[in-house]
Amino acid sequence: MKKIFATFLTLILLTACALPVEPVPADSGLSGSALIGPTCPVVRADVPCPDAPYQAHFVVTRNGREVLRFDSDEEGKFKVNLAAGEYILHAENPDGNMLPYAQDISFTVTAGAFTNIIVSFDSGIR
C-alpha cells in the first residue's frame, strides 16, 4: 500500500511541476525567405549577381529556451506558427561549417498576424 501511495504521490508531483504547454495559434507566426549571396566570384556593376534562395536550418528561441526547429524549402521560403511574443531566429549549420553565415534576428509576433523577415546568408565568396 505504501508503494502504491508513493507512486501516486510521485505522479501528482511530476504533473504539478510540468510546464504548461502554450497552445500555438494557426493565425500568427513567422514567415519569410532565406537568401544567400554573393553567388558570383566577382561582382560588377554591369553584371547582375542577385542573391539566391537558400534552403536553411533554423532554431527559434524565446527567453533562452528552444521553441521550434524548422527548415526553409528549396525556394528559401518558410512559414511557421508561433504564439504572440518576442523571439530570436538563429540559423544553424548542422555540418559544423562557419559559412554560410547569418546573424541572429530578433523578431516580435503579434496575435493574429505573421511577421515577415528576410534572412541574408553570407556565402563567403569574395
Domain chopping of the chain, boundaries: 23-122
Dump pLDDT digits (tens) for 44-98.
778 888 999 999 999 999 999 999 999 999 999 999 999 999 999 999 987 778 8
Q: Which residue has the higher pLDDT, 85 or 15?
A: 85
CATH of 23-122, one of 3.40.190.10, 3.90.1150.10, 2.60.40.10, 1.10.287.110: 2.60.40.10
**Are the CB atoms for 82 and 94 separated by under 8 Å?**
no
**Are the CB atoms for 97 and 104 separated by under 8 Å?**
no
